[in-house]
Amino acid sequence: MPDIARPGRKATIAAPVRGRTCAAALLIAGDGRYLMQHRDDLPSINFPDHWCCFGGAIEPGETAEAALRRELREEIGWEAGDMTLFTEHRVVLPFAEPRRETIRFFAVPIDPAEASRLKVKEGAGLALLHPAELAAKEKVIPWDLAAVLMHAGRATLFRTPRPTRDP
């Protein structure tokens, strides 16, 4: 359903159509690596051959957490334990018909030994990567990379500033 500022007008970056709301997993191993998905290299999908977080669209009537649990079962056959909402990104994708999407990122711990036994059911592959390794990849979905870097640097990025002392 279009969500543009002026009905009857072509969607623009300033007035995009409403896109999906998605849930994505920051699958964090205890050694600081993140389990990432390598997308298939198919011309029929968005962002072919890119690295990204596991996740997908939230279906009508589904919570973000339920959607993420479903996606993890579908994509890697894994039942997630604890998950905590970490951040939410709202992006306008500059496709021919620009659309606004929302991505909710959940921090989800995963044991590295368990991650190494998983088989990808959707996508070309998976890998445990340190944030710098992910950033060095040629093709990474940018908001997923941003979420990983934000999470990895959260102790520094999101600390409460100390009050300054008056002389």
**What is the rounded average pLDDT of the residues 40-60?**
97
Domains and CATH numbers, the chain: 21-150 (3.90.79.10)
CA separation for the pair 162, 84 (Å, rounded) = 26
What are the tokens at 60? 């009508």
CA separation for the pair 107, 103 (Å, rounded) = 13
In the chain, the largest separation of any two C-alpha atoms, in whole Å, equals: 63
**C-alpha dihedral (147, 149, 153, 158), degrees to nearest 10:** -40
CA separation for the pair 17, 5 (Å, rounded) = 9
**Overall pTM surpassing 0.85 (yes/no):** yes
SS3 127: strand
Q: What is the pLDDT of residues 103-115, one digit of tens each?
A: 999 999 999 999 9
**What is the rounded average pLDDT of the residues 114-135?**
97
